[in-house]
Structure 1
Amino acid sequence: MKLLTKLCLIILLLISFQSNAQQFDTALEYLEFLGEELETVTKSTWKYTKAVAHSKSDRNVNNKRKTLIKTVEKAISKIEKAKAYNNDDYKNNVLKHIRLNESLLKQDYAKIIDMKAVAEQSYDLMEAYILAQELADKKMADSQAEYEANFYEYAAKHNINIIESDNDLGKKMTISNAVFNHSNALYLIFFKVYINEVYLWDAIKNNDVSGIQQNANALNQTAKEGLEILKTIEPYKNDKSIILATKAVFDFFIDETENKIPVIADFFILQEDFKTIKNTLEKTPEKKRTKPQVDAYNKKIKEINKAGTIYNKTNTKLNTERQKVLEKLETTKAKFLDRHIPKD
């Protein structure tokens, strides 16, 4: 009797599950159902991956990632519960693709966010960060292409007419990846030079004359090498905008190191000389100070005051010009992406 009761309960549960599972009368209804679920997830995931590269708030990006993961999990659950039309294996192909999206969000892009936090510390870290992005994007694009092939195969199998268009997400991804690859390649060329200016200004903040001269030479050399590399870069669809904006930054770095940094370095050298004269004078009892000592001290004060004025003007001009060329590069890059990335 107990065995019969348990068996009845299992049968009731199976009936209940089957009645709640979504079922489809035609292959078209089934294809549309899966397509709608998948399109929402894939488009959202693709938009998110682009936000990773451009958002200034890593916390905001990470919160979006967690929200999107929940959306993907719901879609997977909904598809899993739906009854496949004629027990077709197409459902498994769709789930494979959507689970790839889930894996990218939970693993690849979680790592990418962490990599972004430290990417600007060195060229190697920046290169690794950009490469990780490109690999994740390629995984998604390849998976999308495989999904679309299965989609058209399923439609053909059931005599469903699908009108292809340039709006297909797979085509958008292919185009977008080519655009981002061009932009990323130029950014790495820029960053390899730019990181030397970061080191240079660290030395300036620390009044490190030796470091200033060493990093200024490195910046000058890499900027000139960068200009030569830019000459070899093929523009994307004849669009030279980022190339030219990057060139303007390198030209600024060369002028900075050849004409402005020597003024700054001379000021710090003069400061060191003044400290030496001042310390010597202060250690000498007032009654024993000689006229040449006092004259040298007073002369050095005038020199350092004059040099200080020139230093401040030079520094202010450098900051203004640097901000101008770097902002121009950022604006140019944003406009380039806006021009060439397919719209939704």
Structure 2
Amino acid sequence: MKQKLLFISLLAIGFSPLLHAQQFKNALDYLEFISSEQEIITKNMWKYTKAIAHSKNERSVDGSRNSLIKSIERAISKIERAEGFDGDTYKNQVLENLRLNESLMKQDYEKIIDMKAVAEQSYDQMEAYILARELADKKMAEAQQEYETHFYAYAAKHNIDIIENESDLGKKMAISSEVFKHYNDMYLRFFKVNINDVYLWEAIEKGDVGAIQQNGNALQQVAAEGLKMLKDATLYKNDPSLVEATQTAFNFFIEESQTSIPEVVAFLLLNDEVESIKTTLEKTPERKRTKEQIDGYNRKVKEINKAIGNYNKLMAALNKDRQQIINNLNLANEKFLAKHIPKD
């Protein structure tokens, strides 16, 4: 007579703690034991996923990861102490899978956290961070697939029917993977353009006209390329919010580089000219200064004073508009994740 077991298909594997050794009367009891432990640890995985999606607090996210690691560690101890039914082959397979998950969370994801700390410094580092995270997630999914293969094989060996029923948690984990795929794709496209804007403003702060012109041209080029690429972007659930917010940002960067940066350059060149005239005048003894020199300097002083007011207005407007663009993009990201990744 076949026995039946409800199998909950989940993306991530895990188990709960056991203080004492445990014995099982039959294979069904053992599979129920494994399945129940799997569901518990997956709930912890879901908490970690939710923290990544919804929490802005890095400590909270890392706290969820550490809690998950502890759950896996306790699970390993529990499975080790429990006696495997019909030998230890399946038990060892489960433990091997558990230890793989433990290694992923302790090592791969730990490295990812370190990479995130410096990812903002360059596009290459940000790309490497995102790719590393996707690779770790892929390893986790592959580990799950391997677990399910052993699970079904053990059930078949002992004539146990598996009643498949993808749980809410399983659906949420699968959905979150697709949501983050689109989110990461859009963010990386934005970052590639935005990092050029960061370099541009570093040059402006230094007053380096050559670097300003170079970075301004680069910003205009990558923003235009980004707009073209967004036309072919695949939407998630036909939700255009991230694409539209990114398009708005790219249009701002293009307008900034085409219109505002030439004004910035003109002001800095004028300021350099005034400083040069001033230096020359100061090096000239008063008795040797000509009326033409003095009048020319005074005209430039009036010109630069007027230009300073316009320049300050330009900087204030650019900073306000840029901050609004970033705020809108951040809000679009938050709403996108909140909409497509459940909190419960």
Query: What is residue 188 of structure 1 aligned with on the other side?
Result: 188
Query: What is residue 202 of structure 1 aligned with on the other side?
Result: 202
- Segment of structure 1 superposing worse, 45-54 or 232-241: 45-54
The CA deviation at 1:34 is: 2.1
Query: What is residue 70 of structure 1 aligned with on the other side?
Result: 70
The CA deviation at 1:78 is: 0.8
Q: Distance in 1 between matches of 2:128 and 2:134?
A: 10
Query: What is residue 124 of structure 1 aligned with on the other side?
Result: 124
Q: Does 1:89 align with 2:77?
A: no
Shift in CA distance, 50/206, structure 1 to aligned 2, threshold 3 Å: farther
Matched to 1:236, the amino acid is Y
The secondary structure found in structure 1 opposite 2:258 is: helix
Matched to 1:306, the amino acid is K
Residues 220-250 of structure 1 show CA distances to partners (whole Å, capped at 9, x for unaligned) of: 0110111011111121221111111100000
The CA deviation at 1:90 is: 3.0
Query: What is residue 215 of structure 2 aligned with on the other side?
Result: 215
The CA deviation at 1:77 is: 0.5
Q: Does 1:253 align with 2:253?
A: yes
Query: What is residue 22 of structure 2 aligned with on the other side?
Result: 22
The secondary structure found in structure 2 opposite 1:85 is: coil
CA contact (8 A) 1:230 1:247 kept: yes
Specify which structure has the bigger relative contact order, considering alpha-carbon pairs within 8 angstroms and separated by 6 or more residues.
2
Query: What is residue 166 of structure 2 aligned with on the other side?
Result: 165
The CA deviation at 1:129 is: 0.6
The CA deviation at 1:64 is: 4.5
Q: Distance in 1 between matches of 2:116 and 2:50?
A: 13
- Segment of structure 1 superposing worse, 289-298 or 125-134: 289-298
What is the TM-score with the length of structure 1 in the denominator? Answer: 0.86
The CA deviation at 1:91 is: 2.3
Query: What is residue 290 of structure 2 aligned with on the other side?
Result: 290
Query: What is residue 340 of structure 2 aligned with on the other side?
Result: 340
Residues 106-148 of structure 1 show CA distances to partners (whole Å, capped at 9, x for unaligned) of: 2101111111111111111111110000010111122223323
Query: What is residue 5 of structure 1 aligned with on the other side?
Result: none
Shift in CA distance, 338/44, structure 1 to aligned 2, threshold 3 Å: same
The CA deviation at 1:69 is: 2.4
Query: What is residue 278 of structure 2 aligned with on the other side?
Result: 278
Matched to 1:22, the amino acid is Q
Higher helix share: 1
CA contact (8 A) 2:44 2:67 kept: no
Query: What is residue 15 of structure 2 aligned with on the other side?
Result: none
The secondary structure found in structure 2 opposite 1:313 is: helix
Query: What is residue 267 of structure 2 aligned with on the other side?
Result: 267
- Segment of structure 1 superposing worse, 192-201 or 282-291: 282-291
Matched to 1:164, the amino acid is N
Query: What is residue 8 of structure 1 aligned with on the other side?
Result: none
Shift in CA distance, 131/176, structure 1 to aligned 2, threshold 3 Å: same
Q: Distance in 1 between matches of 2:22 and 2:111?
A: 36
Query: What is residue 15 of structure 1 aligned with on the other side?
Result: none
Q: Distance in 2 between matches of 1:63 and 1:175?
A: 23
Residues 81-120 of structure 1 show CA distances to partners (whole Å, capped at 9, x for unaligned) of: 0112343633233223221210111210111111111111
List alignment gaps of at least 5 residues for structure 1.
1-18
The CA deviation at 1:42 is: 3.3
Q: Distance in 2 between matches of 1:151 and 1:339?
A: 34
CA contact (8 A) 2:241 2:336 kept: yes
Query: What is residue 141 of structure 1 aligned with on the other side?
Result: 141
- Segment of structure 1 superposing worse, 23-32 or 149-158: 149-158
CA contact (8 A) 1:21 1:81 kept: yes
Q: Distance in 2 between matches of 1:101 and 1:35?
A: 16
Query: What is residue 40 of structure 2 aligned with on the other side?
Result: 40
Q: Does 1:175 align with 2:175?
A: yes
The CA deviation at 1:60 is: 5.3
Q: Which has the larger radius of gyration?
A: 1
The CA deviation at 1:52 is: 5.5
Identical pairs, percent: 58
Q: Distance in 2 between matches of 1:266 and 1:245?
A: 31
CA contact (8 A) 2:42 2:169 kept: no
